[in-house]
Structures are given as C-alpha cells and as structure tokens.
Amino acid sequence: MENKGIEAYNDIIELPHHVSDKHPQMSLDKRAAQFAPFAALTGFEAAISETERIWEQMVENEILHENPDGDF
C-alpha cells in the first residue's frame, strides 16, 4: 500500500464537521473518560503482588534452611 499523505483526503478535508440529529453530543468529561487509563483485569496487580510475596518468602526460607547461620 502506498502512502499518499494528506492529498488522499483533499475531497473531504474542507467539509464541515458532521453533527448528528439522532445522538446528542457527548460531554467533554465523558469523552475524556474514554481515554483515561483503566484496570482491565480488576485485582490482577494484587494477585501478582501476592505471588511475588509468596515466592520471595519461599526463596528466603530455602536460603535460611540451606544456610541456617546466615553464611552466604
């Protein structure tokens, strides 16, 4: 596909902005909310943090079990 740039839109670039007769215009707050960050997987970060905590504890316990005097 060839990149033609803005010239490809010369036929529509000067047309007036369309305003729907059927749908009311969305408020700026609602439009901004569409682009705001969100947590798609609710609780995912907490699950990852808990898994990390468990693994760190397991590693620490294993190291202490292998070296009870703390000599590393």
Global confidence as pTM = 0.38
Amino acid residing at 28 = L
Give the pLDDT score at 70: 54
Amino acid residing at 36 = A
Which residues 6+ apart lie within 8 Å of 45 measured at CB? 39
Give the pLDDT score at 2: 61
Give the pLDDT score at 64: 64
The domains of the chain are located at 37-72
With a cut of 70, list the residues of the chain below it in pLDDT: 1-3, 64, 66-72
Cα 35 versus chain centre, distance: 10
Contact 34, 28 (CB under 8 A): no
From CA 36, how far away is CA 64, in angstroms rounded? 45
Give the pLDDT score at 56: 92
Give the pLDDT score at 33: 86
